[in-house]
Structure 1
Amino acid sequence: MQMNATYTSFVAVGDSFTEGMSDALPDGSYRGWADLVADRLAARAPGFRYANLAVRGKLIRQIADEQVDTAASMRADLVTLVGGLNDTLRPKCDVDAVCALLEQSVEKLAPSCGQLVLMRSPIRRGPVAARFLPRMEQLFAFLDTLAERHGAIVVDLYGSGVLGDPQMWADDRLHLNAEGHRRVAEAVWQALGHEPESDWTELLPPAVPPGWVTRRGADLRFTREHLVPWIGRRLTGRSSGDGMPPKRGELLPYRADQD
């Protein structure tokens, strides 16, 4: 990797994490870490171009089938690929099959771009995540192998204690909030060899535990607004991203100050 390189084009591939949920803007759209990285890169490179092919809810096969070839054809200086975590949360998940699809994707993307970036995704600490940790850790270990084989960078967000802090997560308990996405953007920025702008690993002050009534109210809202719809989609084979287009489907000029 060329440290502190100037990238003139960036393509982001993935699911809701890369789309930017739940870093909400006033108009109801999402920003997210990939947009924040694009902002920084655009400020350094006149004529910078950016595409974000991510769509929420996508499984690794959908990412491989719908996004990877398009991303490879763009021949960008920088490509990020994050996927497979949605698969590990399904009741039945063949992690070996997920790894095989990731490998196919990396084999297409790595030779088509200047630098490929992979990530060990952040995980919110709690009993739900603990059930799926063996699957996730198998996936992350394979990512390390892929990166070494293909010259990719791995950004280890899973190993960061601060990104497991529930204070970094939105009310849906599935997606990072604005501060979480800001930390991820800084982690990617530093992994690309740029000078740190902040310490993305700095721990937050301990949260003041809410009272019993507040906790129960939050649990009820979470169940009603997020958990029940999520279970409904799983039972009916639907996805939150069904019918949605990519966030930014073409590799087009992008200014650092644009929304």
Structure 2
Amino acid sequence: MGADVPFRFVALGDSLTEGVGDPVGGAWRGWAALLAEGIAGDDAPVEFHNLAVSGALTVDVRERQLPAALALRPGLVSVVVGVNDTLRHTFDIHDVAARLDEVYAACAAQGAVLLTACLPDPGAMLGLPGALARPLARRQREVNAVVHALSERYDAVHLHAAEGDLAADRALWSADRLHPGERGHRLFAARCHGLLVARGLATGAAPACEPELPPPTRSASLWWLATAGTGWVVRRCTDLLPQLVALAADEVRHQVRGTSARLDHGSSRAVASALAALAT
């Protein structure tokens, strides 16, 4: 990174990368912006572009965000997306895998370093009952398995965020239970920074893990959830609800028969098939 040539970091994805849950000055900041500040030292400029959009699916990243990112010719591209796909009735791991492979390949072909992450399943974060949560968990495991495999294929810097404190510590998450609060965004950024340092790709100071702002009061959190957060969830889940009810009923039937393992085996076969299709 030369002092007169800015290093470009471009962030792609959905509301997590947009920064929902970390409000600063009337806008969202988020983990990617925090990470950008620590990529290089004070004497090396870093040009940060956040192209992530709340509600984005993998198809949105491929068709809308990717072309804009490639035009910027970045040195580092983060691609964190897929949760919204699991909340759609059209979810198909073959389509998700093909889109992610195309995005990763295009960025790698330009010489950009990829930064990826696997994420907790939305059913667990929302606290849904088991029969409703398990189908969503299975979908998110499929997405995570694909992201793991493709991250290895394209030598991406990969953050394992599906388990551990990033997923289990409720203090890291905002009132809607789907987005990190400031503390969670900071921890996400710090973990990514550590991985970049280990690869020799970051030389600046790590993002601080302690929040700068006091956490929102309980009343403020409940008000946000009632006026905005619930609407966010409803908009992303409405077309899934009829199918989710059917999936939950199928879960119960298999549980009663003692054949629940068949659902997991079917999910594993779908992932293997999706990845095999990319190799042809």
Q: TM-score range by the shorter chain?
A: 0.7 to 0.9
Within 5 Å, give how 1:198-209 maps onto structure 2: none
Work out whether residues 38 and 207 of structure 2, in 8 Å CA contact, stay in contact via their aligned partners in 1: no
Residue in structure 2 matched with residue 127 of structure 1 by the alignment: 127
Residues 57-136 of structure 1 aligned to structure 2 (within 5 Å): 57-123=55-121, 125-128=125-128, 130-136=134-140
Residues 144-166 of structure 1 deviation map (CA, whole Å, 9 limit, x = unaligned): 11112111121111122343322
Q: How big is each residue's C-alpha offset from its partner over 1:59-78, in whole Å with a ceiling of 9 and x where there is no partner?
A: 11011100112212322111
Equivalent pair of 1:81/1:116 in contact (CA under 8 Å): yes
Distance 1:63 1:193 in 2: 27
Residue number among 144, 147, 151 corresponding to 2:148 in the alignment: 144
- Which of 214, 226, 230 is the matching residue for 1:227? 230
Alignment partners' CA distance in 2, 1:233 and 1:140: 20
- Are 1:169 and 1:176, in contact at CA under 8 Å, matched by a contact in 2? yes
Q: Deviations over 1:131-184 (max 9, x none)?
A: 411111111111111112111121111122343322211112221100000000
| Match 1:156 to one of 160, 171, 191 | 160
Partner SS state of residue 139, structure 1: helix
Match of 1:43, SS? coil
Matched positions, count: 216
- Contact kept? 1:89, 1:132, Cα under 8 Å: yes
Q: What is the identity, as a one-letter code, of the residue corresponding to 1:172? A: D
Do the aligned partners of 1:23 and 1:30 also contact (CA within 8 Å) in 2? yes
> Per residue, is there more helix in 1 or in 2?
2
Describe the shift of the 1:140–1:229 C-alpha distance in structure 2 as closer, same or farther (beyond 3 A): closer
Partner amino acid, structure 2, of 1:71: A
Residue identity in the other structure for 2:72? M
Give the distance between the partners of 1:191 and 1:66, measured in 2 at CA. 28
- What's 2:11 paired with? 12
| TM-score (structure 2 length as normaliser) | 0.67
Once the two structures are TM-superposed, the CA of residue 52 in structure 1 deviates from its matched residue by 1.0
Unaligned 5+ segments in structure 2 are 1-5, 210-217, 241-280
Higher RCO (CA 8 Å, separation ≥ 6 residues): 1
Say what the alpha-carbon RMSD is for the aligned residues. Answer: 3.1
Which region of structure 1 is more displaced relative to structure 2, 48-57 or 118-127?
Answer: 118-127
The 1-side partners of 2:172 and 2:87 are apart by 20
1:190-224 per-position Cα deviation (integer Å, ceiling 9, x unaligned): 11125895997xxxxxxxxxxxxx99xx8897456
CA contact (8 A) 2:88 2:236 kept: no
Residues of 1 paired with 2:182 and 2:166: CA distance? Answer: 14
Q: Identity of counterpart residues, as a percentage?
A: 29
2:174 is equivalent to residue 170 of structure 1: yes
Letter in 1 for 2:54: R
How many Å separate the matches in 1 of 2:7 and 2:104? 21
Residues 221 and 75 of structure 1: is their aligned pair in 2 closer, same or farther, counting only changes over 3 Å? Answer: closer
Residues in 1 aligned to 2:28 and 2:231: alpha-carbon distance in whole angstroms = 23
Looking at structure 2, the residues matched to 92 and 223 of structure 1 have their Cα atoms a distance apart, in angstroms, of: 28
